[in-house]
Amino acid sequence: MKTKSLIFVSAALLLLISPALRAQSFLEGGRVTGNFQMDAQIYRPDSAIGAAKVDEKMLMNSFANLLYTNGNFSAGMRVESYLNPIQGYDPRYKGNGIPFWYGSWKNDQFEITVGNFYEQFGSGMVLRSYEERNLGYDNAIKGAKVRFTPTDGVVLKGLIGTQRYFWDQGPGIVRGLDGDFALNDIFDKNGTIGTRVTLGGSFVSKFQENEEVFAGPDNMLILPQNVGAWAARFNVSKGKFMLDGEYVNKMNDPSAANNFIYKNGESMLLQATYTTKGLGVVLSGKRTDNMSFKSKRSEEGSVLDINYLPALTRQHTYSLAAMYPYATQPNGEMALQGQLNYKLKRGSKIGGKYGTDIALNYSRITSIKREVAEGDTAIGKRGTKGYSSPFLAFGDELYFRDFNIEIQRRFSKDFRLLISYINLKYNIAVIEGHPGEPEVNANIFIADGTYRLNDKNAVKVEYQHLLTKEDDGDWMQLLVEYTIAPKWFFTVADQYNYGNSDKDRRFHYPTVSAGYTAGSNRLSFTYGKQREGILCVGGVCRNVPAANGLTITLTSTF
Amino acid sequence: MKKALFLSLLLAVSIGLFAQESGAKQTKIPSVNIKTLDGKAFNTANLTNDGKPIILSFWALWCKPCINELTTIADVYDDWVEETGVKLVAVSIDDARSTSKVGPLVNGKGWEYEVLLDANGDFKRAMNVNMIPHTFLLNGNGEVVWQHTSFSEGSELQLIEMVRKLNRGESIE
C-alpha cells in the first residue's frame, strides 16, 4: 500500500515537474499556496465530569495543504499528523502521512483529475464526497474524475475510485455518472424566457466482493456484489419563486446499517422558496427510506459513506441550543421544515432606526410507516425483504421537533442585541441510541448583546438558559467576551448544570480563552472544562468527551 | 519509505517556491466551478468588478461571527460602494442541508451582496480557507492582496481602510 502511494505521489510530482523543466514560461506562472492547522490539547484528569486519564498527557492533530497552480494545471497534497488523535477523534487516525494528493488539468471543455478528490452530484443524496476536518470526517474518493462541458448549459461528470478509510482505502469501488442540463442556456441563449429550468440525473454504483453473512445457521445470504442507485432532479425558478427537488432510488443493498434486508432504498427532497427584498420563505419536505449507502457492507460508523442525507433542521450555533442536535436517520424518516426571514424596515416605527431582523423556523421529523412485507412474517428481519412502506405516510414516532424564533436589532451605532427562543423535542432513544430514555422536551432562551466602546474595543455578553425535566436537567451559561479589533479576543464563560436531578452532578464548566489574529494567521488558547456533548458541523456530528485542560489552536493560510 | 515521501514533498515545495520567485507577487483567484443563488453555474475566474476591488467573504448560516460581519457591513455597504466602488461577494459554504435557505436569509436581511454557493467546499479548499469568516481583498485584476480570518467588532473599519489604500495605490500590509 505504502509503495503504491509512493509511486502515485512520485507520478504526480513528475507530472508537476516535467513540463516545468521543459518550459521556462510554464514555471514562471506557477503559484504555491497552502494552509496549516494544528489543534493540541493538554489534559488533566477529572473523574467528576468524566474526563478520562490521557496517558500521553498531550494530544495533537495537525494538517497542512499545499496547492500548486499554473494556468490550467494544478496539483496538491495534504500532510496529516495525529500524534495521537485528540479526544473524540477516531483512534484509527493515529499516525502521520499524506492521505490526499491530486493532479488536475483543464481546458475549455475538459477537466481531468487523478488522485484524491471531492465531488457532489445534485444535493448529494446519491453521491457526495467531502470533508469536515474539525470532525475528522473525510470520505474523499481516490481514482479518476472527468468533467466535460460539451456546450453551454451542459455539464457531464464521470468518476471512479475507492474511498478513504483512515490511512487506507475502503474495499468497495464507487463509479458514478452525472449530467446537468440548464435548458435556458442550451435552447434560449438570448434569455427571452423568464422561467429558468435545470434538469439533472445521476447513476452511481458500487462494487464489493462477496462475503459470508448468515441470517441463520444454514442460511448464508446471497449478497449483490454490484449495487446501483440513480437520481433525478429539477430546479425551476421564475422571478421570486424557486422550486427544486431530487428523487433517489437505490437497489437492494443488504448491509450492517439496515440489518441485511433486501429492500430498495429511496429518498426525496422537495423545496420551495419565495424571496423578495426584506422577506424570505422556504418550505421543504423530505422522505428517507433505507438510504444508508456505503462502500463497505459491514460498516456502521460515519465512514465510507457514498451519499449524504441532509437533515431538514436548523443548525443551532449557541452552545446550549446545540446540545440536542439532529442528524438524518438513514434507515427512515419523514421531515418537514419551514423558515421565514423578515426585515422590519429601517426607520419604521417598530423596525427602529436600523431595522430589525426576524427569523422563524419550524421543523418536525417522524418515523416512516413500516408494514410487514408480502411473504414475510416480521418487520426488518435479516435476510428478508425487510418491510414495505407507503411513500407519503408519516410514522407515529416523533424523532425531533424544533420551533425557534430569533430577533436581531441594532439599537444604536454602538449597541446590538439578539434574543432567541427555542422549543425542542428530542427523541434521545432513537437519535442517540439509548432505548428506554424519555423524550427530551427543552425550552431555551438566549440573549446576546454587543456594545462597541469605540472603533476598536467591544464587549459582548451572552446569556443562555436551557430548561428541561429530562436528561441532565436545567443548564445556564454566561459568557463575556472582550475584543480589540482586528487582532485580540478574550473570553470568560461558565456553563452550569444547576438543575441536574443528581445533586452531586451539578457541575460548573468554566473556561477562559484568548486569541490573536494577524491577517490569516490565528492562534487561540482555551483553558477549562468542556462538557461531554455532540459537536456537529455541516450535518455530521461527533461525540466530544468531557475534558479538562488546555486547547491550543493555530491556523494559517499563505 | 517515509523519507522518500518527505523528500518528494520538499521537492514539490522548493519547485513551487522557485516558481514563485520568478513570477509576479500576487495570487490570482483560482478557477473553480460553483453556483449562483439561482442555481446557475459560475466559474470563479469570472469574478469581476470592472477593475475595481472585490471583497470576497466566506461564510455560512451556522457561523455566527460571519453573520455578524455581513450584517455590520450591510449597514454601511451603500457608503462603501459609493466611496470606493468596492463589491462584496459573499461565498456561502453551506451544504445541501441549508443551500436553499441562503437566498431567503440574504433577502430577509436585505443584504445587497453578490452571493455564491460553494456547497461542496471546492472554492473554499482552492482558497485555503480553514476557518470562517475568512475575508479576502482582491485588486482590480482579481489578485489577492490581503486576507483576514475571524471577525470582531470594528474589523470592518480595517477592511475598508485596506480598500481605500488599494484605491490610492499604496502598498498593503
ipTM metric = 0.90
What is the pLDDT confidence band of residue A13, given thresholds at 50, 70 and 90? low
More confident residue, A15 or A131: A131
Residue of A98, A237, A555 with shortest CB distance to B5: A98
Give the model's pLDDT for residue B24.
44
The rounded mean pLDDT for chain A is 91
Give the model's pLDDT for residue A87.
87
Residues of chain B found within 8 Å of residue A155, distances taken between Cβ atoms: 33, 41
Give the model's pLDDT for residue A14.
56
* A317·B63 Cβ contact <8 A: yes
Q: How far apart are CA A75 and CA A68, in angstroms?
A: 5
pLDDT in tens, A453-493: 999 999 999 999 999 999 999 999 999 999 998 899 999 99
What is the pLDDT confidence band of residue B20, given thresholds at 50, 70 and 90? very low
Tell which residue, A231, A450, A80, has the closest CA to residue B67: A450
Q: How far apart are CA A400 and CA A398, in angstroms?
A: 6
In CATH, the number for domain A107-282+299-310 is 2.40.160.10
Residues of chain A found within 8 Å of residue B95, distances taken between Cβ atoms: 124, 130, 308, 310, 538-539
* A242·B103 Cβ contact <8 A: yes
- Residue B55: is its pLDDT beyond 90? yes
- Residue A224: is its pLDDT beyond 80? yes
Domain boundaries, chain A: 107-282+299-310, 313-471
Give the model's pLDDT for residue B173.
67
Residues A183 and A200: beta-carbon distance below 8 Å: no
Query: CB of A9 within 8 Å of any CB in chain B?
Result: yes
Name beta bridge partners: B115.
B90
The minimum CA-CA distance between A557 and chain B, rounded to whole Å, is 6
pLDDT in tens, B61-113: 988 899 999 999 999 999 999 999 999 999 999 998 889 999 999 999 999 99
Cell numbers 486569541 correspond to A515
What is the pLDDT confidence band of residue B5, given thresholds at 50, 70 and 90? low
Q: How far apart are CA A55 and CA A40, in angstroms?
A: 15
Q: Which class for A439: exposed (0-12), middle (13-18), buried (19 or more C-beta within 10 A)?
A: middle
Give the model's pLDDT for residue A333.
96
Q: Annotate A228-247 with DSSP letters as a single string.
A: EEEEEEEEEEETTEEEEEEE
Give the model's pLDDT for residue B11.
53
What is the pLDDT confidence band of residue B17, given thresholds at 50, 70 and 90? very low
* A555·B120 Cβ contact <8 A: no
What is the pLDDT confidence band of residue B16, given thresholds at 50, 70 and 90? very low
Q: How far apart are CA A34 and CA A36, in angstroms?
A: 7
Highest mean pLDDT among A167-171, A186-190, A210-214, A377-381: A167-171
Q: Work out the average pLDDT over A314-339.
A: 93
Residues A121 and A201: beta-carbon distance below 8 Å: no
* Chain A stretch 252-291, residues whose beta carbon is closer than 8 A to a beta carbon of chain B: 269, 271, 273-282, 284
Q: How far apart are CA A267 and CA A356, in angstroms?
A: 38
The minimum CA-CA distance between A364 and chain B, rounded to whole Å, is 15
The minimum CA-CA distance between A46 and chain B, rounded to whole Å, is 30
Q: Work out the average pLDDT over A94-98.
A: 95
Residues A172 and A255: beta-carbon distance below 8 Å: no
The minimum CA-CA distance between A31 and chain B, rounded to whole Å, is 6
Q: How far apart are CA A383 and CA A373, in angstroms?
A: 12
Chain B interface, best mutation among A3, A108, A131, A315, by max B CB count within 10 A: A315
- Residue A147: is its pLDDT beyond 90? yes
Domains of chain B: 26-168 (3.40.30.10)
* Chain B stretch 2-41, residues whose beta carbon is closer than 8 A to a beta carbon of chain A: 2, 4-5, 8-9, 11-13, 15-20, 22-23, 27-28, 30-31, 33, 38-41
* B120·A118 Cβ contact <8 A: yes
pLDDT in tens, A266-282: 999 999 999 999 999 99
Query: CB of A13 within 8 Å of any CB in chain B?
Result: yes
Give the model's pLDDT for residue A535.
65
What is the pLDDT confidence band of residue A428, given thresholds at 50, 70 and 90? very high
- Provide φ and ψ at A545, rounded to 5°: -75, 160
- Residue A20: is its pLDDT beyond 60? no
What b/e string do you get for B99-116 counting C-beta neighbours within 10 Å, with b at 16 or more? bbbbbbbbbbbbbebbbb
Q: Work out the average pLDDT over A303-313.
A: 95
Tell me which DSSP letter residue A71 carries: T
Q: Work out the average pLDDT over A56-75.
A: 93
Tell which residue, A74, A244, A441, has the closest CA to residue B19: A74
E-only strand ranges, B3-152: 27-28, 33-36, 41-43, 54-59, 87-92, 114-117, 134-138, 143-149
* Chain A stretch 418-477, residues whose beta carbon is closer than 8 A to a beta carbon of chain B: 450, 452, 454-458, 460
What is the pLDDT confidence band of residue A233, given thresholds at 50, 70 and 90? very high
Which residues, 6 or more positions from A488, have their beta carbon under 8 angstroms from its beta carbon?
A514, A515, A516, A517, B152
Give the model's pLDDT for residue A376.
86
The rounded mean pLDDT for chain B is 86
pLDDT in tens, A97-123: 999 999 999 998 999 999 999 999 999
Chain B interface, best mutation among A102, A178, A282, A308, by max B CB count within 10 A: A282
User: Could you tell me what percent of chain A has a pLDDT over 70?
Assistant: 93
Q: Work out the average pLDDT over A55-73.
A: 93
* Continuous segment of H or E residues that includes residue A12: helix A2-22
Highest mean pLDDT among A388-392, A441-445, B132-136: A441-445
Give the model's pLDDT for residue A176.
97
pLDDT in tens, A344-372: 998 888 888 889 999 999 999 999 999 99
Q: β-strand B54-59 against B87-92: which pairing, if any?
A: parallel
- Residue A418: is its pLDDT beyond 90? yes
